[in-house]
Amino acid sequence: TGKRERFVEGATAFRNARDFAQRHRDRLIQAANARANARARQTDTEAPSEAEITVAVTEQYEELLTNLWTERKLLRRTTNFKVLSPPYRCEKIPKWPARLSGRLAYHTC
């Protein structure tokens, strides 16, 4: 019976991780589409400055990172398995996003 229980736990963790990845993917696509649509609506005379674009992208990134961190913590609480980052990822998410001068601090490789 122990093997069956372990299989069920593993299958549940896999399904939760798959759903988590799907939500993350959907949010990224939605944010990219929103940015593309906003740019398409602007005329050449109304082009935003580089600073405005940087602020908007930073705000979206901070919001996305906070949402992903919350979901990751919830996923860890609901399963006995650790959520591992892909091996190709260079940025390491800190234990909680630290704000430095209005921006998120992150580690680089």
Residue-by-residue DSSP string for 5-58: HHHHHHHHHHHHHHHHHHHHHHHHHHHHHHHHHHHHHS-GGGPPPHHHHHHHHH
pLDDT, averaged across the chain: 70
pLDDT value at residue 81: 54
Phi then psi dihedrals of residue 99, to 5 deg:
-95, 130
Read off the amino acid at residue 89: R
**Paired tokens of 29:** 């696509």
Q: Annotate 3-17 with three-state secondary structure.
A: HHHHHHHHHHHHHHH
DSSP 74: H
pLDDT value at residue 38: 77
Instruction: Give pLDDT tens digits for 8-51.
Output: 888 888 998 899 989 888 888 888 888 888 777 765 456 666 77
pTM of the complete model: 0.38
Which among 70, 56, 55 has a CA at the least distance from the CA of 23?
Answer: 70
User: Where along the chain do its domains lie?
Assistant: 2-81
